[in-house]
Amino acid sequence: SSDKTAGEMVDYKITGIDPGAGIMEATDRAISDYGLDKWELTTGSGAAMTAALKKAVDKEEPIIITGWSPHWMFTKYDLKYLDDPEGSYGGAEEIHTIGSLDLAKDKPEAHQILQNFKWDEEDMGEVMVAIIDGEDPADAAQSWIDENQDKVDSWTEGVDKVDGDEFTFVYVAWDSTVASTNVMAKVLEDQGYKVKMSQVEAGPMWTAVADGSADALLAGWLPVTHKTYAEKYDGKFEDVGTSMEGVKIGLTVPEYMDIDSIEDLKK
């Protein structure tokens, strides 16, 4: 440790991701809730953030990032969340599958599978780690499916096959979402769908499902992370199901940093 404050150590900079991400809005809220007037949240992307994290960890330098789990960064590095006594980041979040209002009527087979879709942090972690270790996302998804056929069968059991119907997922290039979307794209392809994966920003992702130009998104983080989007499009989408429980967002630092709480950033 040093005599410097956390702010001095990182130049009062929190390394963020894409501006539309819910965690960015939550971080703006934290800056205001904790009175972090001198602090700045930088924007970029998930990939730029994890590149900055790797660079810092390699040199054991201080860094503060917008983290979330499940994410492979917690597997690859020793990291900790900063305590959040004000609750700016909410508590235990869930990942919801969000469908267009026409989904159940127009594509009942896909709707049923998405309703059944549920996996855990370890499952998603296996796909994410394979991708970050260099595997093509589609191949990583296929390997996971091959090794977890029982789980996949439990999602598709009793659901009729279809014959080339089109299905569009919208997703953001967040590592967790890349993993889930690639897996479910394969699952729906095996069911007979012709699946398109359209990569967009967070706002347009919600808009596409709400206006029906896409069928579903798999990264509806609720109740807090995407609250603003869910409220904006209230009544224009179906909350199809919860694919994972107990997920989390928050400010994240390497274990070697001598701070434990967002309150420590005020010093």
The Cα–Cα gap between 233 and 237 comes to 7
Q: SS3 string of 37-99?
A: CCCEEECCCHHHHHHHHHHHHHCCCCCCEEEEECCCHHHHCCEEECECCCCCCCCCEEEEEEE
Q: Using DSSP bridges, classify how beta strands 93-100 and 216-222 pair: parallel, antiparallel or unpaired.
A: antiparallel
Q: Please select the residue that binds ligand PBE; options are 221, 240, 251, 262, rule is CB under 6 A.
A: 221
What is the nearest approach in angstroms of ligand PBE to the Cβ of residue 262? Answer: 17
Distance (Å, rounded) from C-alpha 119 to C-alpha 21? 23
Nearer to ligand PBE, 17 or 57 (CB): 17
**What is the DSSP code (8-state) at residue 261?**
B
Report how far apart, in Å, the C-alpha atoms of 260 and of each of 45, 165, 181, 242, 250 are.
25, 51, 34, 31, 12
Question: Binding ligand PBE by CB under 6 A: which of 6, 10, 14, 21?
Answer: 21
**In the complex, what is the shortest distance from the CB of residue 201 to ligand PBE, in angstroms, rounded to a whole number?**
10
Span from 4-12, 19-27, 119-127, 129-137 in contact with ligand PBE (CB under 6 A): 19-27
Check residue 195 for interaction with ligand PBE (CB under 6 A). Answer: no
**Closer to ligand PBE at the Cβ: 22 or 137?**
22
Stretch that binds ligand PBE, among 15-23, 114-122, 193-201, 257-265 (CB under 6 A): 15-23
Pairing between strand 40-42 and 13-15?
Answer: parallel
Which residue, 5 or 45, is less far from ligand PBE as judged by CB?
45
Nearest approach, Cβ of 177 to ligand PBE (angstroms)?
6
Nearer to ligand PBE, 188 or 244 (CB): 244
Contact 225, 197 (CB under 8 A): no
Residues 237-256 that bind ligand PBE (CB under 6 A): 249
Sign of torsion, CA 26 29 34 39? positive
219 binds ligand PBE (CB under 6 A): yes
Binding segment toward ligand PBE, per CB under 6 A, in 20-28, 32-40, 55-63, 105-113 = 20-28
Out of 68, 155, 167, 169, point to the residue binding ligand PBE (CB under 6 A). 68
Residue 225, interface with ligand PBE (CB under 6 A)? yes
Q: Is the dihedral of CA 131, 93, 90, 171 positive or negative?
A: positive
Residues within window 161-190 making contact with ligand PBE, judged by CB under 6 A: 174, 176-177
Q: CB of residue 108 vs ligand PBE: minimum separation in angstroms?
A: 27
Q: Could you give phi then psi for residue 88, rounded to 5 degrees?
A: -60, -30
Which of residues 95 and 259 has its CB atom nearest to ligand PBE in the complex? 95
Query: Whole-angstrom Cα distance, residue 104 to residue 259?
Result: 48
Rounded distance between C-alpha atoms, residue 260 and residue 81, angstroms: 8
Taking the least distance from each CB to ligand PBE, the nearer of 68 and 193 is 68
Which residues here bind ligand PBE, judged by CB under 6 A?
17, 21-23, 68, 174, 176-177, 202, 219, 221, 225, 249
